[in-house]
Structures are given as C-alpha cells and as structure tokens.
A and B are shown apart, each in its own frame.
Chain A
Amino acid sequence: NAGVTQTPKFQVLKTGQSMTLQCAQDMNHEYMSWYRQDPGMGLRLIHYSVGAGITDQGEVPNGYNVSRSTTEDFPLRLLSAAPSQTSVYFCASSRGTTIYFGEGSWLTVV
C-alpha cells in the first residue's frame, strides 16, 4: 500500500524552465490537492480536485497548472519557473476526515 507517491523528491530548475511534479495515490480517493510550504507560512493550497475531470484553484494558484484525467493521478505543472516558486511541495489525497500527504518535493529555482 504505497499511499501518496510524489516525484521527484528534489529538483533544481533554471528560471523560465517548465516541469511537472507527479503525484499518484492508490487509495481511490476522490479529493486530491497540492500545497506549497514556505518558512513561517504553513502550507498553502495551490490547486485541488474533487474528482476526475474536476479541478479548482486554491489560495496561491498563479504560475501553476493542474489536470485530473484519472482518479489516481494529479500532476502539478510549472509553466515558466520563477525564483518565487522555490518551495517544498506536498501532494495530498483525502476521503472523510483524514488527509494523506506525500513525502514532499523540494524545488529550487535559480
């Protein structure tokens, strides 16, 4: 039972590059979400999905794109990376009263 799997764990990007953070869950959860964690600010919601084909914006969606073609997968795309997107990213899935987090992806944009 893998839970929520995120890849890559570490990534360094140059400004203007694009990349995709992958997220997969094997618990058949409807709800999935992406958060970013910055010092002193807790986790902030970027985008979320309530099921395949349905996505919506969270608190800090600018510069990020998502899609949900299957229940299992919820990739996060950075279209043109900026230094302000240097952060730790967490994917999560939830059903009922519990949210399950991935291990995190440490992204540095130089």
Chain B
Amino acid sequence: AQSVTQLDSHVSVSEGTPVLLRCNYSSSYSPSLFWYVQHPNKGLQLLLKYTSAATLVKGINGFEAEFKKSETSFHLTKPSAHMSDAAEYFCVVSEGNFNKFYFGSGTKLNVKP
C-alpha cells in the first residue's frame, strides 16, 4: 500500500535562507515521487519528479529533491527562499502504472521578509 507523510504542516523561513520540506513515503513498488506547489486559490503546478533515474532531481524555480531509498524519504530543498515561494507544497507518490496518485497532507511555507 502507498502512503505519504509530510512531517511538517507549516514551515516558516526568512527570505534568503534555505528551505527544507520533509516527505516520507511507504510503497510496495518502486515508487515514482513528485512535488507539487499550490499558490492560494490556484491549481497545482509540478515542481519536480523522480522516476527511478538520478536520485537527485532538479526542478523549477531552484528547487531540488533527493530520493533516499534507505530512509524512504524525498525531501524538497531550496538554497535561498524567495517571497514568491510562499505557497502550499504537496509530496505525491504514484503506483507503478501511474493511474493512482497519493498525496501528502501538504506543507504551508511562509517566507518572512
């Protein structure tokens, strides 16, 4: 069975400081993992995805994530936060045939000036 746990419901950082959003998963298969971002009252935008290629995945807007199988983790990082990064972030895991996607409960990122 697939499940996703986002360890922090809220994260607050100062502009210019690093961002770390944590995600752990459980999967019976070799998972595909994704991070999506949602700005207030907007739809979902794909940040990056891992599909069994390189374990360090680079995404848009300077975000990256590292797949660590031994830790069943897929944490999202960014070296320097920008005010425009304030949004809700979702970690997502997919079954092998990609017709089901399981979402974490989300992490709201607040960026302080």
Residues of A at the B interface (CB closer than 8 Å) are 31, 33, 35, 40-45, 48, 50, 58, 90, 92, 94-99, 101-104
Contact = CB atoms under 8 A, between A and B. Distances in A.
A5 to B, nearest CB: 12
Contacts of B46: 98
Contact of A33 (B34, B90, B99): B99
Contacts of A45: 100-102
Chain B interface residue bracket vs A: 20 to 34
A93 to B, nearest CB: 10
A96 B104 contact: no
Report whether over half of chain A's contact residues are helix, strand or loop; otherwise say mixed.
strand
B73 interface: no
B26 interface: no
B67 to A, nearest CB: 14
Contacts of B6: 42
A40 B101 contact: no
A27 to B, nearest CB: 14
Given A42-B90, A103-B43, A94 B99 contact: yes
Contacts of B103: 35, 42-44
